[in-house]
Amino acid sequence: MIVFDLKCSGDHVFEIWFKSSGAYEEQRAQGLIACPFCGDVAVTKAVMAPAVSPKGNQATEKAPAGADAFKAALAAMAQLQAKQLESSQWVGKAFAEKARAMHQGEAPEAPIHGQATLQEAKALVEEGVPVAPLLVPVVPPEARN
């Protein structure tokens, strides 16, 4: 296994593990690698620094500039999402069907959340149905203790 730092055309940097360098090239050529932040498939290898362990008597590095602000913003968005989910109805695997029906005026509009496959989500977006992924995974009501 080998890990590569990758970069999309939107300058997002992320890492992915591959079976080999050839596996990376094959998947990239087929458009199977997408940026987890924006979905862009125009990815290239980013510059990687070698992993060199620091001496035991040296202080550890600080987090990159802006890391704390990013974590705080993500936590705030997750908290807002949790609050919005309280007034939203869980529709489970019927999410795509119900969202499409509301969009087409066949059902009254209401805040819903549920599960959709990647293919279902892409189809909804292509049809102009307003959907968004959840930041924090939601445990279905039937799976809760």
Span 55-98, pLDDT tens digits: 666 666 666 777 888 888 888 888 888 888 888 899 989 999 99
User: Quick check: is 124 in a domain?
Assistant: yes
User: Quick check: is 50 in a domain?
Assistant: no
Looking at the chain, which runs of residues are DSSP E strands? 2-8, 13-18, 43-45, 89-92, 112-114
Structural domain harbouring 16 = 2-45
User: Quick check: is 142 in a domain?
Assistant: no
Angle at which helix 118-126 crosses helix 95-103, to 10 degrees, equals 10
**Which bin fits 68, alpha (ψ -120 to 50), beta or left (φ > 0)?**
alpha
For the chain, the domain total comes to 2
Cβ 114 vs Cβ 91: under 8 Å: yes
Per-residue pLDDT at 67: 81
User: Quick check: is 57 in a domain?
Assistant: no
User: Quick check: is 144 in a domain?
Assistant: no
User: Quick check: is 30 in a domain?
Assistant: yes
User: Quick check: is 120 in a domain?
Assistant: yes
**Which bin fits 31, alpha (ψ -120 to 50), beta or left (φ > 0)?**
left
Query: Which two three-digit tokens encode residue 87?
Result: 């007034």
Within its chain, how far is the Cα of 119 from the centroid?
15
24-44 pLDDT per residue, tens = 888 888 888 888 888 888 889
Residues 6+ apart with CB under 8 A from 46: 4, 5, 6, 7, 13
d(CA 135, CA 79): 10
User: Quick check: is 72 in a domain?
Assistant: no
9-27 pLDDT per residue, tens = 888 888 888 888 888 888 8
Per-residue pLDDT at 144: 67
97-137 pLDDT per residue, tens = 999 999 999 999 999 998 888 899 999 999 999 888 876 67
